[in-house]
Chain A
Amino acid sequence: QKEVEQDPGPLSVPEGAIVSLNCTYSNSAFQYFMWYRQYSRKGPELLMYTYSSGNKEDGRFTAQVDKSSKYISLFIRDSQPSDSATYLCAMSDRGNNRLAFGKGNQVVVIP
């Protein structure tokens, strides 16, 4: 079993819809949880960063972490065509700079 599981999709939604993405993981030592966004033919860029459990909101983006269920989520409200990208979850344990990445979830927002 891979440490991090992420359904690769792709996911197509109409503009203005809510996008819901999630990852599950097996390593209970993970404490740092990230979402990266990657546009086509570009490098990933950090979108959301969360430590431990709870929610974090940044504009139209909300990241949720449920450590008891080993489950993390990313929600995009009022989705825009510019949100069309691949979203990768990543996580790490304390003091470890070796991230475990999900395979990425391609999102297409249709105008």
Chain B
Amino acid sequence: DAGITQSPRYKITETGRQVTLMCHQTWSHSYMFWYRQDLGHGLRLIYYSAAADITDKGEVPDGYVVSRSKTENFPLTLESATRSQTSVYFCASQDSGRGPGELFFGEGSRLTVL
């Protein structure tokens, strides 16, 4: 099916472990984004990418690493998970031909760090 998919949908891990959240889109959109959503904070941008091999920091990048070797994939890695990274993570994509803000979001990955 076309669209944007995230995996895993649910993940429980322990402090200090490395975790990778996957994001795959089938539209060949240029832009991809990673957000986290927390009560009291709303959606906050972690990293974004304008194209393959081009990434940039967002509002809350510390403790996260991204890569984008292919246009359709944009994995997010927590190198050493901390409890404060317990959150719901959303991946989104945007066609470069559309206006800023016309994002398509995935269903989210719920991460719990014990």
Question: Which residues of A line the B interface, CB within 8 A?
Answer: 6, 32-34, 41-46, 49, 51, 88, 90-99, 101-104
| Residues of A contacting B40 in the complex (Cβ-Cβ under 8 angstroms) | 103
| Residues of B contacting A41 in the complex (Cβ-Cβ under 8 angstroms) | 107-108
Interface size class of B (residues with CB under 8 A): 20 to 34
CB-contact partner of A99 in B103, B104, B107, under 8 A: B103
Chain B, Cβ-Cβ closest to A94: B100
Question: Which residues of B line the A interface, CB within 8 A?
Answer: 31, 33, 40-45, 48, 50, 58, 90, 92, 94, 99-108
Whether A45 pairs with B42 at a CB distance below 8 angstroms is no
- Which 8 residue pairs across A and B have the least CB separation, nearest first? A43-B105, A103-B42, A101-B43, A92-B100, A34-B101, A92-B101, A32-B101, A101-B42
Given the contacts A32-B101, A49-B101, A97-B31, A44 and B43 also touching, CB distance less than 8 Å: yes
